[in-house]
Structure 1
Amino acid sequence: CVADMQTESKNAQTRCDELQAELAKAQSELATMTQSYEDAHNQLSIKNDELKAAMLQAESSERRREELEAQLTEAISLRDASHDEVVQSLQAQVDNLQTELHTAQEA
């Protein structure tokens, strides 16, 4: 009877040792998985920050493009207005010269 109890105790101790080994292995795997998760999370955070920076850069570039388009439109308008003024001035000079020519021809 004592021998049976000792055998059962040994078997129980062996099973306990096996379970502790399995637990240690599971804890090690969990630690590895946790570290992998943290690494992936950190990489995702970095990529997210890079994406935000790229989006801000794109928005800034778009605003700059819009500013340049507005400046170009204004420059074209000024050029056109200046062109019209030059044409009117030249036309007035031509009219004056024609008037002077007619006056000189009549004299």
Structure 2
Amino acid sequence: MSRSVVAFSAVEDLAEFVHSVLCDRDALDPTQAPLFRTPLKRGGRACGLVFHVQGPRLLRTSAIWSNDDGRIIFYDSSGLRFQEVSLSESPPLNTGCEVQSAE
């Protein structure tokens, strides 16, 4: 499992990075495999986001960004953790985020 350190000042930049890593893992075309996100809540407050990409043949890869822990953990379609990224700078979390698709 690879580990690295990155910094993001905006949630959209973080989402683009996650989308790229998830698509690269399974050689998916980012324009054909949209990124979905769902708020991650702990104790009723938003503390991160769960991302996933759906590909052909029921392929689904995912990533979890924990703003509290300052890291992103990536999982392949079998649920195996394949990468962990530490954040030296995390973007502010928009607590009003809804389920979204980033293009």
What TM-score bracket applies, with the shorter chain setting the length?
Answer: under 0.3
Name the structure with the higher helix share. Answer: 1
Which of the pair has the greater relative contact order for Cα pairs under 8 Å at 6+ separation?
Answer: 2
Rg larger for: 1
- Name the TM-score, length of structure 2 as normaliser: 0.18
